[in-house]
Amino acid sequence: SYVLTQPPSVSVAPGQTARITCGGNNIGSKSVHWYQQKPGQAPVLVVYDDSDRPSGIPERFSGSNSGNTATLTISRVEAGDEADYYCQVWDSSSDWVFGGGTKLTVL
Amino acid sequence: EVQLVESGGGLVQPGGSLRLSCAASGFTFSSYSMNWVRQAPGKGLEWVSYISSSSSTIYYADSVKGRFTISRDNAKNSLYLQMNSLRDEDTAVYYCARGDPRLRGAFDIWGQGTMVTVSS
């Protein structure tokens, strides 16, 4: 089965840049989606197809994907960005797969 | 307003059954694939099942295969998850989520979730 690996936690000061990684075997050949989930709420799609943003998502959210690592980058981090973030891909042997999630803490 | 609303969760004993429903509104339900995703207390997201727009293609996670059945009624704008032989480890919030082909299948709309507790 296909496995996506995320760091359990990332911390960043307000105004700085947060980078959350998602590792997987040759993930660069797949389309990666990213979700934000705040406590007690349903997940929200923030980046799809590696680097595209749904309408309503700030330009501060961006993504990249190459080799064995995909990255969600949040620029000019705000207190309201504090949440859990999950990466997701479709794999032919595992169907839909989510990463374990990364807790973003804004210091 | 585009919306998904789950219902049917509750407390059930191990080995029991439960049927979840997801009511869709504000979009052409029959044009989209749908998914069930669950989240155990304090844990991450786990994809459970997928159904294509016409019900012609269905997938299940290995953890639920043979026990859960996904279905949909496009005339009623509704998605279902029949859960049988429930286990303690099925305890979770269950979300329905829309897959948008324009977004490479990403789950762009989610319901608020319904809690399923399996316990004696």
The distance from CA A98 to its chain's CA centroid, rounded to whole angstroms, is: 10
Q: Are A35 and A48 in contact (CB under 8 A)?
A: no
Confidence of residue A55 (pLDDT cuts 50, 70, 90): very high
Mean pLDDT of A5-9: 98
pLDDT at A18: 98
Contacts of B59 in chain A (CB under 8 A): 95-96
pLDDT in tens, A25-37: 999 999 999 999 9
Chain A: give the shortest CA distance to residue B13, in Å.
25
Q: Which of B44, B47, B62 comes nearest A96 by C-beta?
A: B47
Mean pLDDT throughout B86-105? 96
Which percentage of chain A shows pLDDT scores above 70?
Answer: 100
Instruction: List all residues of chain B from 82 to 101 with a beta carbon under 8 Å from chain A.
Output: 95, 97
Interchain proximity A33–B107, CB inside 8 Å:
yes
Question: CB contact, 8 Å: A71 with chain B?
Answer: no
Q: Work out the percent of chain B whose per-residue pLDDT is above 90.
A: 100
**3-class SS of residue B103:** helix
Bridge-based pairing of strands A95-98 and A69-74 is: unpaired
Q: Are A91 and A30 in contact (CB under 8 A)?
A: yes
Residue A62 has pLDDT above 90, yes or no: yes
Question: What one-character DSSP code corresponds to residue B55?
Answer: S
Question: Is residue B64 within 8 Å of B49, Cβ to Cβ?
Answer: yes
Give B85's contacts (C-beta < 8 A, 6+ positions apart): B15, B17, B67
- Look at residue A47 in the predicted model and tell me its pLDDT: 98
* Least-confidence region, from A1-5, A19-23, A91-95, B18-22: A91-95
- For A101, nearest residue in chain B (alpha carbons): B44
* pLDDT for A94: 83
Instruction: Report the pLDDT value the prediction gives residue A76, as an integer from 0 to 100.
Output: 98
| Average pLDDT of every residue of chain A | 97
Residue B47 binned pLDDT confidence (cut-offs 50, 70, 90): very high
